Amino acid sequence: MPGISVKDVTIKYADKSKKDKKSKKEPPEIIALDNFSADFDDEKFNVIIGASGCGKTTLIRAVAGLLDYEGEIFFDETDAMELTVKDRNVAYVPQGYSLYPSMTVFDNIASPLKAAGAGREEVTERVKSIARKLGLELLLNRKPKELSGGQQQLVAIGRALVRRPSVCLMDEPFSNVDVKKRAILRSYVKNVVADTGCTVIYVTHDVKEAVALADKLFIMNEGKLVASGTPIEVFKRRGAVIDDFRNALAERSLV
């Protein structure tokens, strides 16, 4: 599985919320990523944490090939610009569930396999296997509307991982799930990712979730990388942004 290197990546876009309709002037630019560089380890759970608007989602969308950027992104030694979407073999799990409402859980998870032309026996075996690991085996005949928010997000994750991607990008998948249920859902995801051996980049603003999941932790602020390393290595360092997250972790641990 590939490690991913991001080298001096900058992404700018117009702040349309500040465009003056009476003026022909272009609206001011927002710098979502500012000369950002980081190395994400292969076959590891790489977790990015930062406040809303710091560039987390922009970064993983660039890695997925969904945004143009200045700079370079490498999958192992290969420039991402030289890879087709198929060659990148990336699965992307956004915040929303994006499930097919008329299809069962089984068919939702199976959809990428069927699209790739997998045979019936292979589809059945792989869907049932990943459903079992995610605690969904008793829900395969249900429709999305019959599931809780957490269950729907697990279905979305199962659909992403069932085709065995090299890289899985997850954008705050449990942000709409009750805090008390997140630990259970995290354990399901951590286990199934370990079995697939894919490289994960996981975005969150929840410091407790970040520490629970991360093999390697990245702290972002205003489009820049503040610190990276194991959670222990990161929180040994000093700095205003790191101190804020350290304090938040201490407060969450008391809840």
Furthest C-alpha separation in the chain:
61
pLDDT of 16 above 80: no
Which tens digits make up the pLDDT trace of 117-134? Answer: 999 999 999 999 999 999
| Residue 219 near residue 231, CB atoms below 8 Å | no
Q: With the CA atoms of 150, 153, 159 and 161 taken in that order, what torsion angle do they form, in degrees rounded to the nearest 10?
A: -90
Where are the domains positioned within the chain?
Answer: 4-89+165-253, 99-164
Q: In Å, how far are 9, 25, 198, 223, 237 from 28, measured between CA atoms?
A: 20, 9, 39, 16, 35
pLDDT at 199 over 90: yes
Query: What mean pLDDT is reported for the chain?
Result: 88
Residue among 79, 99, 112, 92 nearest 201 (CA): 92
Distance between CA atoms of residues 135 and 126, nearest Å: 14
Q: What is the pTM of this model?
A: 0.88
For residue 254, is pLDDT > 80?
no
For 214, other C-beta atoms within 10 Å of its C-beta total: 22
User: 27-60: per-residue pLDDT in tens?
Assistant: 778 899 999 999 999 999 999 998 888 999 999 9
Q: Per-residue pLDDT averaged across 201-222, rounded? A: 92
Listed range (135-139, 216-220, 245-249) with the worst mean pLDDT: 245-249
Q: Which CATH class is domain 4-89+165-253?
A: alpha beta
